[in-house]
Amino acid sequence: QKEVEQNSGPLSVPEGAIASLNCTYSDRGSQSFFWYRQYSGKSPELIMSIYSNGDKEDGRFTAQLNKASQYVSLLIRDSQPSDSATYLCAGGGAFSGGYNKLIFGAGTRLAVHP
């Protein structure tokens, strides 16, 4: 069973701090990884994608991938109350219909308090 594991949280950080979200995966064949943000009652929205070992930065967000350790992380700098949401880590799995199926972790709830 291919799995993506996340700490469910909640992770509570003060406004302006760095939030660090972590994820491990079991399928060594996964080549693509994604972080989605999901507000309560809404569908997920893509925050970052990462395919290579190392860091990838986009604004206040940095994704990190370590394939040897099967570990993906997301750093959110200068956290804002509007960042409070559930963050889903997903790994690209087997192909279906020509596209990678996504395997989602259970999500980490982030709460940014003023």
The residues binding another protein (CB under 8 A) are: 34, 41-46, 49, 88, 96-99, 101-107
Closest distance to another protein from the beta carbon of 16 (Å): 28
Closest distance to another protein from the beta carbon of 106 (Å): 5
Cα 67 to Cα 87: distance, rounded to the nearest angstrom = 20
- Closest to another protein by CB, 71 vs 104, is 104
Cα 108 to Cα 89: distance, rounded to the nearest angstrom = 9
- Cα–Cα distances (Å) from 86 to 14, 43, 99, in that order, read 16, 11, 25
Closest distance to another protein from the beta carbon of 24 (Å): 14
